[in-house]
């Protein structure tokens, strides 16, 4: 019996030494959900938001919520509204928002997308 306890102790100790030599081990309290199927099927990048410019909404990867304007107010929802029901996000163009991790996506949107889709043709003082 004493030999069995010693063998078990050595087995656990050897396993811990082996795992420790492999590099850092990350232990979390919760199970990490994988990204949505439309996001990076073969690689992971550290970004918080993804923007769908053709449909004018964001997806927050850390909170797993969609962010879009609803009646002029930015809202966060777990699912998209019915108007996007037939949308295939795997085939939709999206942009990774690199370097922005704040919760206020409205501020980011106003700073980076204010002139998106506008033309200079009707700007006063412009000829041509």
Query: Domain spans of the chain?
Result: 49-112
If one compares 75 and 16, the residue with the highest pLDDT of the two is: 75
Average pLDDT, the chain: 76
Q: Is the pTM here over 0.85, yes or no?
A: no
Give the rounded percent of residues in the chain with a pLDDT score beyond 90. 30
HSE, side-chain direction, 13 A CA sphere, residue 7: 4
CA separation (Å) from 65 to 4, 33, 107, 112?
Answer: 52, 13, 17, 21
Backbone angles phi, psi at 110, to 5 degrees: -65, -35
Q: What share of the chain is helix, strand, coil (3-state, %, to 5)?
A: 25, 15, 60
Q: Which residues pair with 67 in a beta bridge?
A: 58, 76
- Asked if pLDDT for residue 31 goes beyond 60, the answer is no
| H or E segment and range at residue 65 | strand 65-70
Q: What is the mean pLDDT of residues 99-119?
A: 78
């Amino acid at each position: 019996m004493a030999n069995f306890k010693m063998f078990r102790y050595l087995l656990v100790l050897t396993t811990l030494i082996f795992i420790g030599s492999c590099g850092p081990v990350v232990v979390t309290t919760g199970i990490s959900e994988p990204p949505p199927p439309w996001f990076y099927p073969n690689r992971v990048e550290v970004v918080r938001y993804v923007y769908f410019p053709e449909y004018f909404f964001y997806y927050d990867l850390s909170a797993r919520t969609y962010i879009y304007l609803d009646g002029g107010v930015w809202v966060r929802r777990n699912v998209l509204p019915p108007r996007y029901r037939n949308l295939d996000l795997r085939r939709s163009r999206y942009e990774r928002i690199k370097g922005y991790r704040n919760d206020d996506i409205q501020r980011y949107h106003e700073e980076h997308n204010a002139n998106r889709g506008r033309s200079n043709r009707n700007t006063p003082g412009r000829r041509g």
